[in-house]
Protein backbone atom coordinates (compact mmCIF):
# COMPACT_ATOMS: atom_id res chain seq x y z
CA UNK A 1 0.00 0.00 0.00
CA UNK A 2 1.01 3.62 -0.48
CA UNK A 3 0.29 6.43 1.99
CA UNK A 4 0.94 10.12 1.44
CA UNK A 5 1.66 12.22 4.51
CA UNK A 6 2.02 15.99 4.57
CA UNK A 7 3.79 16.70 7.86
CA UNK A 8 5.99 15.19 10.56
CA UNK A 9 2.87 14.55 12.65
CA UNK A 10 1.09 12.72 9.84
CA UNK A 11 4.11 10.48 9.28
CA UNK A 12 4.34 9.81 13.03
CA UNK A 13 0.63 8.90 13.05
CA UNK A 14 1.12 6.57 10.11
CA UNK A 15 3.90 4.93 12.13
CA UNK A 16 1.41 4.39 14.96
CA UNK A 17 -1.01 2.70 12.57
CA UNK A 18 1.75 0.45 11.24
CA UNK A 19 3.00 -0.26 14.76
CA UNK A 20 -0.42 -1.52 15.85
CA UNK A 21 -0.29 -4.44 13.40
CA UNK A 22 3.26 -5.52 14.24
CA UNK A 23 3.95 -8.63 16.29
CA UNK A 24 7.04 -10.12 17.96
CA UNK A 25 9.52 -11.37 15.37
CA UNK A 26 8.63 -8.72 12.79
CA UNK A 27 11.45 -6.87 11.06
CA UNK A 28 10.73 -3.54 9.38
CA UNK A 29 13.35 -2.29 6.90
CA UNK A 30 13.05 1.42 6.10
CA UNK A 31 14.72 3.12 3.17
CA UNK A 32 14.56 6.64 1.77
CA UNK A 33 16.98 9.55 1.64
CA UNK A 34 18.39 11.53 4.54
CA UNK A 35 15.60 13.47 6.20
CA UNK A 36 12.86 11.49 4.46
CA UNK A 37 11.22 10.60 7.79
CA UNK A 38 12.52 7.14 8.71
CA UNK A 39 13.24 8.06 12.33
CA UNK A 40 9.90 9.91 12.57
CA UNK A 41 8.07 6.80 11.37
CA UNK A 42 10.04 4.60 13.80
CA UNK A 43 9.08 6.94 16.64
CA UNK A 44 5.40 6.47 15.74
CA UNK A 45 5.82 2.69 15.56
CA UNK A 46 7.52 2.71 18.99
CA UNK A 47 4.68 4.77 20.46
CA UNK A 48 2.16 2.19 19.25
CA UNK A 49 4.29 -0.56 20.81
CA UNK A 50 4.14 1.07 24.23
CA UNK A 51 7.63 2.61 24.28
CA UNK A 52 7.64 5.53 26.72
CA UNK A 53 11.16 6.80 25.95
CA UNK A 54 11.78 9.56 23.44
CA UNK A 55 12.94 7.81 20.26
CA UNK A 56 16.03 9.37 18.70
CA UNK A 57 18.16 8.39 15.74
CA UNK A 58 20.66 5.63 16.56
CA UNK A 59 23.08 7.18 14.04
CA UNK A 60 26.14 6.97 16.30
CA UNK A 61 25.21 4.11 18.60
CA UNK A 62 23.90 2.01 15.65
CA UNK A 63 21.32 0.26 17.84
CA UNK A 64 18.88 1.44 20.50
CA UNK A 65 16.86 -1.00 22.58
CA UNK A 66 13.50 0.11 23.92
CA UNK A 67 11.12 -1.56 26.31
CA UNK A 68 7.60 -1.62 24.94
CA UNK A 69 4.96 -4.34 25.13
CA UNK A 70 7.95 -6.37 23.96
CA UNK A 71 11.54 -5.30 23.27
CA UNK A 72 11.98 -3.04 20.26
CA UNK A 73 15.37 -2.71 18.57
CA UNK A 74 15.93 0.39 16.46
CA UNK A 75 18.94 0.15 14.17
CA UNK A 76 20.56 2.70 11.87
CA UNK A 77 22.45 0.70 9.24
CA UNK A 78 23.77 3.81 7.48
CA UNK A 79 27.33 3.16 8.70
CA UNK A 80 27.14 -0.63 8.55
CA UNK A 81 29.07 -1.99 5.59
CA UNK A 82 27.52 -5.41 5.19
CA UNK A 83 26.65 -8.69 6.83
CA UNK A 84 29.89 -9.18 8.78
CA UNK A 85 29.87 -5.66 10.12
CA UNK A 86 26.20 -6.06 11.09
CA UNK A 87 26.98 -9.27 12.96
CA UNK A 88 29.82 -7.52 14.83
CA UNK A 89 27.84 -4.33 15.61
CA UNK A 90 24.42 -5.73 16.48
CA UNK A 91 24.48 -9.52 16.35
CA UNK A 92 22.17 -11.12 13.81
CA UNK A 93 20.09 -12.76 16.56
CA UNK A 94 18.31 -9.45 17.15
CA UNK A 95 16.50 -9.96 13.83
CA UNK A 96 14.63 -12.94 15.20
CA UNK A 97 12.96 -13.97 18.41
CA UNK A 98 10.44 -12.21 20.57
CA UNK A 99 11.18 -8.62 19.64
CA UNK A 100 10.40 -6.16 16.89
CA UNK A 101 13.32 -4.83 14.88
CA UNK A 102 13.24 -1.53 12.98
CA UNK A 103 16.12 -1.02 10.56
CA UNK A 104 16.75 2.38 8.99
CA UNK A 105 18.75 2.06 5.74
CA UNK A 106 17.74 -1.62 5.70
CA UNK A 107 18.99 -1.87 2.10
CA UNK A 108 22.55 -1.71 3.44
CA UNK A 109 22.09 -5.04 5.21
CA UNK A 110 19.69 -6.54 2.67
CA UNK A 111 21.40 -9.95 2.75
CA UNK A 112 20.81 -10.19 6.53
CA UNK A 113 17.08 -9.50 6.40
CA UNK A 114 14.71 -12.46 6.90
CA UNK A 115 12.13 -13.51 4.27
CA UNK A 116 9.26 -12.09 6.36
CA UNK A 117 10.76 -8.57 6.35
CA UNK A 118 8.30 -5.70 5.97
CA UNK A 119 9.69 -3.09 3.57
CA UNK A 120 8.98 0.62 3.88
CA UNK A 121 10.23 3.03 1.22
CA UNK A 122 9.81 6.77 1.78
CA UNK A 123 10.04 9.23 -1.10
CA UNK A 124 10.21 12.96 -0.58
CA UNK A 125 7.77 14.81 -2.81
CA UNK A 126 6.99 18.51 -3.03
CA UNK A 127 5.74 20.76 -0.24
CA UNK A 128 6.80 18.57 2.69
CA UNK A 129 4.87 15.56 1.44
CA UNK A 130 6.15 12.01 1.78
CA UNK A 131 5.06 9.01 -0.28
CA UNK A 132 5.36 5.93 1.93
CA UNK A 133 5.21 2.51 0.27
CA UNK A 134 4.72 -0.51 2.54
CA UNK A 135 5.19 -4.09 1.37
CA UNK A 136 4.85 -7.28 3.38
CA UNK A 137 1.98 -6.41 5.70
CA UNK A 138 -1.59 -5.15 5.36
CA UNK A 139 -2.14 -1.67 6.76
CA UNK A 140 -5.49 0.14 6.72
CA UNK A 141 -4.90 3.86 6.17
N1 LIG B 1 5.73 14.68 5.77
C2 LIG B 1 6.80 14.60 6.58
N3 LIG B 1 7.05 13.46 7.27
C4 LIG B 1 8.13 13.33 8.06
N5 LIG B 1 9.05 14.30 8.25
C6 LIG B 1 8.87 15.45 7.61
C7 LIG B 1 7.74 15.66 6.74
N8 LIG B 1 7.85 16.89 6.22
C9 LIG B 1 8.97 17.44 6.72
N10 LIG B 1 9.57 16.59 7.58
C11 LIG B 1 10.85 16.83 8.25
O12 LIG B 1 11.80 15.91 7.73
C13 LIG B 1 12.68 15.47 8.74
C14 LIG B 1 12.62 13.95 8.87
O15 LIG B 1 13.65 13.58 9.75
P16 LIG B 1 13.97 12.08 10.15
O17 LIG B 1 12.72 11.38 10.56
O18 LIG B 1 15.09 12.15 11.12
O19 LIG B 1 14.48 11.49 8.74
P20 LIG B 1 15.46 10.27 8.44
O21 LIG B 1 15.48 9.38 9.65
O22 LIG B 1 14.87 9.62 7.23
O23 LIG B 1 16.81 10.86 8.13
C24 LIG B 1 12.27 16.18 10.05
O25 LIG B 1 13.08 17.32 10.19
C26 LIG B 1 10.82 16.57 9.77
O27 LIG B 1 10.42 17.70 10.48
MG1 LIG C 1 17.03 8.53 10.76
pLDDT in tens, 49-94: 999 999 999 888 899 999 999 999 999 999 999 889 999 988 888 8
Q: Give this prediction's pTM.
A: 0.96
pLDDT in tens, 1-15: 999 999 999 999 999
Identify the helix (H) or strand (E) that includes residue 63: strand 63-67
Q: Look at phi and psi of residue 100 and say left if phi exceeds 0, alpha if psi is from -120 to 50, else beta.
A: beta
For position 60, which CATH number holds?
3.40.50.300
Sign of torsion over alpha carbons 126, 60, 81, 133 = negative
Average pLDDT over residues 32-56: 97
Domain range enclosing 59? 2-135
Spatial distance between the Cα atoms of 21 and 42, rounded to a whole number of angstroms:
14
Please check whether residue 85 lies inside any domain of the structure: yes
Name every protein residue with a CB atom under 6 angstroms from any ligand 1 atom: 5-8, 10-11, 32, 34-40, 57, 104, 128-130
Please check whether residue 93 lies inside any domain of the structure: yes
Amino acid sequence: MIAVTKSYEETFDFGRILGRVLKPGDVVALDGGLGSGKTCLCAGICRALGVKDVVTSPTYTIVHEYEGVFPVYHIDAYRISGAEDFEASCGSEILCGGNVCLVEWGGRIASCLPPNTIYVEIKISGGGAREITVNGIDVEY
